[in-house]
Amino acid sequence: MASPIRILTAVPICDGHDSAINTINLEFIRHGIEVVYLGYHRSVGDIVRAAIQEDVRAIGISSYNGGHIEFFAKVIALLRKRGANDIKVFGGGGGTITHQDAAVMKRKGVDNIFFAGTSLAEMTDYVRKHYGKPRRKRPRAKSPEQELAHKLTEIENAYATVSRKRQTPNERIRHSSFVIRHSPRAERAQVIGFTGPGGAGKTTLIDELVLRFLNQNPQGRIAILSHDPSVIGEGALLGDRATMINSQNDRVFMRSMATRGQAGGLSPATQECLALLARSGFDYVIIETVGTGQEAMPFQKNGIVDRTVLVMNPDYGSRLQLQKIVMLDLADIVVVNKSDLQRARTAHTEIEQRLEQNRRDQRLIDTVAKRHRDAGVDELFKLISRENLVGRDPRARRARERRNT
Ligand code: B12
């Protein structure tokens, strides 16, 4: 089984016409394509950064509010400047983009423009035909960020093709041509795992924590490994970037992964990708699972996660439901997000009682992640910030003491 085609779609800055791209995304997914959706009102810089980090085959832009000739050209120019010439650009925009405009855009490097009346099948056929063949020789990575992105692709591809080639993923990766240049002094990043049911607000919460991290550490860098569900050989909507606002930043490296048939919230390639990210010079690596069920314990196999955060929605049903949620036994921190909802107080009390039974040093925090400068998110940030973790981890504390003497 080859890796699915990965593309990125977005709507340009000052444009909120997202209904066309939402429909097109769904059609792509239905035809086995993994779509990283960046959302609307996105700048050239945001689009190119995301495309390079996600290492997609192509960028599909849906543009309605004018300025498309310049916008598409700037995306292509920035891709070239960053050495990402192998990421192609295509798009559409109803009656706004004329045939004359499209001719100019193609001369400037756009692969194709789709006009009003084109069927969804024509678009998916185009993507499969033009972006579906495996990349042969890749241009040399021009930046450590691009090199990391290529390497992550290689790991994912190795897991997808492993049965075909009768090699273990590790053997395939070892034979690969990419070698990440790690700083020998780079410490392993603090890895924090976020899990919880779909709709609890994990992505918004992570985005708010990223904002606090960027403000607190003017030189700091952070990575996010985010998951969305998919079945083997099928497409996926990798949509967490569309929710992220603060994470559209050059100091944030984000990668979206489809679970590709694995149950439990993560992908078969997660562990390897996470290990690579953890030693690539970031201060933190945040890993977000797909929305999980009661039985999930996604970080159990994964020795590399330092702290686990379970994000709950106050509307989990009756108190009885809490007895069945395995992560309530395992998480270091439990967050009741959306704590402005009516049931949140009851939820807090019930979860508190449930955690008391565990007799572990677990913390319970109430947050409203959608609220800017929320005090609960501040408290959570303090709890997971590096100083705090270093203080609690005996090995890290000893290393720090050795450095200080
Ligand atoms: C629906 C619509 C809206 C909805 C948008 C809802 C939403 N969430 O998307 C609402 C009512 C909110 C809206 C608002 C506005 N709109 Co409006 N809107 C439209 C309308 C009628 C249809 C666009 C559409 O979704 N079509 C459906 C898609 C599926 O079909 P399609 O456009 O033909 O696209 C085909 C291909 O191009 C291709 N395609 C499109 N994108 C992509 C991307 C990829 C990757 C690929 C492969 C293919 C592809 O797919 C389709 C295949 O058949 C157009 C008029 C028009 N006929 O284009 C105006 C239009 C785009 N809007 C317009 C304007 C001016 C506005 C407003 C500024 C109005 C106002 N003063 O408030 C606001 C701006 C909103 C904003 N924040 O940006 C103008 C833009 C004029 C311009 N560029 O100079 C238009 C052209 C109407 C007009 N004639 O004046 N709008």
SS (H, E, C) 253-306: EEEEEECCCCCCCCCCCHHHHHHHHHCCCCCEEEEECCCCCCCCCCCCCCCCCC
**27 C-alpha to ligand 1 centroid (Å):** 18
- As assigned by CATH, the class of the 6-131 domain is alpha beta
Q: Whose CA is nearest to atom 5 of ligand 1?
A: 17
Stated length of the chain: 405
What's the pLDDT score for residue 138?
85
What's the pLDDT score for residue 160?
84
What's the pLDDT score for residue 233?
78
233, 263 in Cβ contact below 8 A?
no
Separation of alpha carbons 207 and 352, rounded Å: 26
**17 C-alpha to ligand 1 centroid (Å):** 5
Mutate to test the pocket of ligand 1, among 64, 110, 126 (most ligand atoms within 8 A of CB): 64
Separation of alpha carbons 262 and 230, rounded Å: 8
Query: With a 6 A CB cut-off, is 117 part of the ligand 1 pocket?
Result: yes
Task: Count Cα atoms within 13 angstroms, Cβ side, for 398.
Answer: 2
Atom of ligand 1 nearest to the CA of 95: 58
What's the pLDDT score for residue 292?
86
Region of residue 262 (phi > 0: left; psi between -120 and 50: alpha; otherwise: beta): beta
Query: With a 6 A CB cut-off, is 18 part of the ligand 1 pocket?
Result: yes
Q: Give the rounded distance of the alpha carbon of 327 from its chain centre.
A: 22
Separation of alpha carbons 292 and 69, rounded Å: 43
Query: With a 6 A CB cut-off, is 21 part of the ligand 1 pocket?
Result: yes
**19 C-alpha to ligand 1 centroid (Å):** 8
Amino acid at 211: L
**245 C-alpha to ligand 1 centroid (Å):** 23
**130 C-alpha to ligand 1 centroid (Å):** 26
What's the pLDDT score for residue 399?
53
Mutate to test the pocket of ligand 1, among 17, 31, 99 (most ligand atoms within 8 A of CB): 17
- Indicate the domain borders of the chain: 6-131, 149-174, 190-403
Query: With a 6 A CB cut-off, is 366 part of the ligand 1 pocket?
Result: no
**94 C-alpha to ligand 1 centroid (Å):** 6
Q: What is the per-residue pLDDT across 161-186, written as a single tens digit (0 to 9) for each?
A: 754 455 555 555 543 433 444 444 45
The contacts of residue 21 (CB under 8 Å, 6+ apart) are 9, 10, 11, 37, 40, 60, 62
Tokens at residue 384, please?
């997971």
Amino acid at 243: T
Query: With a 6 A CB cut-off, is 115 part of the ligand 1 pocket?
Result: yes
Largest CA distance in the chain: 72
What's the pLDDT score for residue 175?
39
Query: With a 6 A CB cut-off, is 121 part of the ligand 1 pocket?
Result: no
What's the pLDDT score for residue 387?
58
Fold of the domain built from segment(s) 190-403: Rossmann fold (3.40.50)
Question: Is residue 99 packed enough to be buried (19+ CB in 10 Å), middle (13-18) or exposed (0-12)?
Answer: exposed
Q: Using 70 as the pLDDT threshold, list the residues of the chain that sit under it.
A: 1, 162-186, 302, 386-405
